[in-house]
Amino acid sequence: MDFLFTPEAISSLLTLTFLEIILGIDNIVFISIVVGKLPEEKRRGAANIGLLLALVMRIILLFAISWLIAMQTILFEISNPVIHAAVNGQSLILFAGGLFLLYKSTKEIHEKIDHAGEKSKNVKNKAANTLGKILLQIILIDAVFSVDSILTAVGMTNGINGAIWIMIIAVVVSILAMMLFAHPVTRFVHKHPSLQILALSFLILIGFMLIAEGAHLSHLEVMGTSVGTIPKGYLYFAIAFSLLVEFLNMRFRKRKSIS
C-alpha cells in the first residue's frame, strides 16, 4: 500500500475527496427533501440508509468500471432533418435522472404551496407506507449521481498507480462526510420553509443540467446545432448566490421580529 503515500496519490486523493463531497451536495439536498415526509425521529435513519446505499452502489460501480465504460457504446441512433443523436447507456441514465428530478421537484413544490396549511399528522399517518417509496426514490437518484461521481473519479485518477483504492477511499470519506452533515442540513431546511422551495428550485436546475449532459453525451444536434453541457461552476455560483440572498433575508426577518 506504499503507492498510496506518494505525492501524486495523496494530491489526487485530497482533490477527488473534495470533489466527491461537492458533487454529493446535490444528493444531500434531494435526500433532505424526500425524508421530510417522514416523522422527525425517522428522518436520520432514512437519510443514513440512503447514503449507505449510495456508498455500496458507488463501490460496486468502481469494480464494474468496464461495464460503466461499455455504456458509452451506441445503443441506437436518431437521424432526421431536425434531430440527430447517437444514444448510449450513460446518456439514457442521465436523461432519465434529469426528468425524474424535474418531475419530483415540481411535484414537491406543488404540494408545499397547495397544501401548506395541512396538519403534519396526515404525513405521519402515511409514514409507514411512504418509507419504502422514499428509499426507492433515494436509490434511483443515487444511481444517477453515482454514475456522474464515478466518471469524475475515473477521469481524475486515470494512469495513477493504485487508482481503484484511491477512488474507494475518496468515495468512503465523502459518504461519511455526507452522513455527518445530512441530518443537520435536513433539520435546517425543514425549519425554514422558504429554504425548502429554494432547495427544490436547485433540484430543478440540477435536473436540467443532467438532461443537457445526457443530450451532450448522445451528441444531440437540433437543426444542425449541437447541445453542449452546462458548466457546473455556473450552476454552483447561482446556488451559492441564491443561498447568500436567502440567508440575508432570514437575518433581516429575524432582526425585524426582535425589534
Q: Which percentage of the chain shows pLDDT scores above 90?
A: 0
Task: Work out how many domains the chain is built from and give that number.
Answer: 1
Q: How far apart are CA 122 and CA 23, in angstroms?
A: 34
* Parent domain of 160: 2-258
How far are the Cα atoms of 140, 160, 248 from residue 152, in angstroms, in the given order?
A: 19, 14, 34
The residue to which cell 454529493 is assigned: 24
Report pLDDT for 155. 60
pLDDT bracket for residue 12 (50, 70, 90) = confident
| Residue predicted with more confidence, 177 or 149 | 177
Query: Mean of the pLDDT values across residues 35-60?
Result: 79
- Measured N-to-C along each axis, helices 89-114 and 7-34 cross at an angle, to the nearest 10 degrees, of 40
- In this predicted structure, the answer to whether residue 23 has a pLDDT above a threshold of 70 is no
Which of 78-87, 103-112, 185-194, 211-220 has the lowest average pLDDT? 185-194
Query: Mean of the pLDDT values across residues 180-190?
Result: 75
Report pLDDT for 152. 65
Query: Mean of the pLDDT values across residues 123-136?
Result: 62
Q: How far apart are CA 103 and CA 49, in angstroms?
A: 23
Query: Mean of the pLDDT values across residues 173-195?
Result: 77
Averaged pLDDT score across all residues of the chain: 76
Q: Which percentage of the chain shows pLDDT scores above 70?
A: 82
Q: Which set of grid coordinates corresponds to residue 77?
A: 441512433
How far are the Cα atoms of 37, 78, 102, 127, 130 from residue 133, in angstroms, in the given order?
A: 11, 34, 18, 10, 5
